[in-house]
């Protein structure tokens, strides 16, 4: 599991994690989460059913474009396939649940 984090000027953090996609062998998903701290960001992901998420080190911190994407989303939690193409946009987490169920 690759990921990283960045602290924002207001003290909050943006955490980025790449995890295996539920129901898709060999596929990965990149999550971006904005929270008050790293522990809360990971808790938000665990509450979605991603129980084994952890952040060790800061090997793949979010890029400035990724930070901008999560800051402009009302939930502060978005995802997209990893690696992505130019046609892959950031999506709310509800879209991942629908895709996994369908």
pLDDT score at 57: 84
Phi, psi (degrees; rounded to nearest 5) at 95: -70, -30
Which tops the pLDDT comparison, 46 or 86?
46
- Whether pLDDT at 87 is above 80: no
Which residues contact residue 20 at a Cβ distance below 8 angstroms, ignoring those fewer than 6 apart? 27, 28, 29
pLDDT in tens, 16-69: 998 877 666 778 888 999 999 999 999 998 888 877 788 888 999 999 999 999
Residue 80's pLDDT band (boundaries 50, 70, 90)?
confident
Which region among 14-23, 38-47, 74-83, 89-98 has the lowest average model confidence (pLDDT)?
89-98
Sign of torsion, CA 62 67 68 71?
A: positive
């Amino acid at each position: 599991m690759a990921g990283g984090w960045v602290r924002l000027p207001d003290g909050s953090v943006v955490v980025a994690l790449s995890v295996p996609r539920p129901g898709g062998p060999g596929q990965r998903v990149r999550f971006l989460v904005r929270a008050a701290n790293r522990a809360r960001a990971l808790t938000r992901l665990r509450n979605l059913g991603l129980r084994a998420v952890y952040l060790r080190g800061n090997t793949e911190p979010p890029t400035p474009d990724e930070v901008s994407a999560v800051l402009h989303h009302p939930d502060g939690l978005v995802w997209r396939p990893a690696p992505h193409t130019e046609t892959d946009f950031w999506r709310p987490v509800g879209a991942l649940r629908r895709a996994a169920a369908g």
